[in-house]
Amino acid sequence: MNIIPAIRKLDFTEIPVVDVASFVTGDERHRAEAVEALADACENIGFVYVKNHGVPRAVLDALVRETKLFFDLPHEEKMSVAVEKSPQFRGFLPLEYGGTRAGGKDKKGPNLQEAFIIMPDRPVGEKNPLDGPNQWPDALPSLKPAMLAYDKAITAFGHQMLKAFSLTLGQKPDFFDAYYTRPTLMLKLNHYPPQPPLTSAQKIGVKGHTDGGGFTILWQDDQGGLEILNKNGDWVGVPPIDGTFVINIGDMMQRWSGNRFISTQHRVVNVSGNERYSIPLFMNPDFSAVIKAVSGDDAEEPYESGKFLFEKYHRIYPQ
């Protein structure tokens, strides 16, 4: 199976900021305005900053500290929890894993990124090959509670945003609940070492790609480097804005919307001269969820979420 959405290159020069407090607090006085702004961003850019998200700053700051401590560990300590030791694809992705290519195995060179991944901790499953236990480094026991606390807070916010996306598609607020009863969420810590000035043949932080799931909620530090592609072929910067997250549409939300919303190509180029860190949550639905347009005629063949994700992860991470 090779289900890749057509890429629509859009005309934009900046990304809007949307206040999502009405979804977090339940106060509906400004909800219609937020739904309209969110829909406009999803249709025309595929990316949006969100503020007043309700995720406690202390919880985020604690994980940021642990993230830096983890990537500062000796290499052998990080490799003790390498993803190759987890059949369910959890743990550490080192820089030297040359197969780590966002664009797939046919792209030149590896990404300049190392990472640490967790997913919902579940018994090993027969129907979902991504079900299983997470790995945690013995050398940094404080990472687990910090990461799980943030995972709980950001996932709760993600479920509020599912209600928002339901409304932007003209559905009832609980429309997506049926697709997220046992979701294949992925929380990922990213570290980008400094890189020299960019050349066309050089490896970069992460090459141009789209995300596979419903949507992604990203925290990024103050170093910058995230870029998205517009219709003129220009890479437009998505600079950090304190107190916000960046949300981008994934391939499945594009399909759910009948291609009304756009899963936009993006990349990371860390030319700040400093270490760069980011923390994305990939809001992937249930492994068995069937993805098709929510309304109207859908000439494309429906596909199963888990099979699509499994194939995409294998292309990106052959190991």
Print the SS3 string covering the chain.
Answer: CCCCCCCCCECCCCCCEEECHHHHHCCHHHHHHHHHHHHHHHHHCCEEEEECCCCCHHHHHHHHHHHHHHHCCCHHHHHCCEHHHCCCCCEEECCCCCCCCCCCCCCCCCCCCEEEEECCECCCCCCCCCCECCCCCCCCCCHHHHHHHHHHHHHHHHHHHHHHHHHHCCCCCCHHHHHCCCECCEEEEEEECCCCCCCCCCCCCEEEECCCCCEEEEEECCCCCEEEEECCCCEEECCCCCCCEEEEECHHHHHHCCCCCCCCCEEECCCCCCCEEEEEEEECCECCCEECCCCCCCCCCCEEHHHHHHHHHHHHCCC
pLDDT at 49: 96
pTM comes to 0.90
pLDDT at 109: 52
* Residue 163 phi, psi (nearest 5): -65, -40
Q: How do beta strands 206-209 and 303-304 pair?
A: unpaired
Q: Copy the structure tokens of residue 14.
A: 């900046």
User: How crowded is residue 198: how many other Cβ atoms within 10 Å of its Cβ?
Assistant: 14
User: How crowded is residue 57: how many other Cβ atoms within 10 Å of its Cβ?
Assistant: 9
Compute the distance between CA of residue 134 and CA of residue 116 in angstroms, rounded to an integer: 10
Give residue for tokens 């780590």: 100
pLDDT at 81: 97
pLDDT at 164: 96
**pLDDT block averages, 10 residues each, the chain of length 319:** 39 79 89 95 94 98 98 97 92 73 46 92 86 96 98 98 96 96 96 74 71 96 91 85 96 95 92 92 96 81 90 74
pLDDT at 106: 42
Identify the structural domains of the chain with CATH numbers, from first to last. Answer: 17-287+300-316 (2.60.120.330)
CB 276 within 8 A of CB 217: no
Query: Any residues with CB less than 8 A from the CB of 172 and at least 6 apart, and which?
Result: 166
- Identity at 243, one-letter amino acid code: G
pLDDT at 11: 46
Compute the distance between CA of residue 293 and CA of residue 278 in angstroms, rounded to an integer: 31
pLDDT at 9: 41
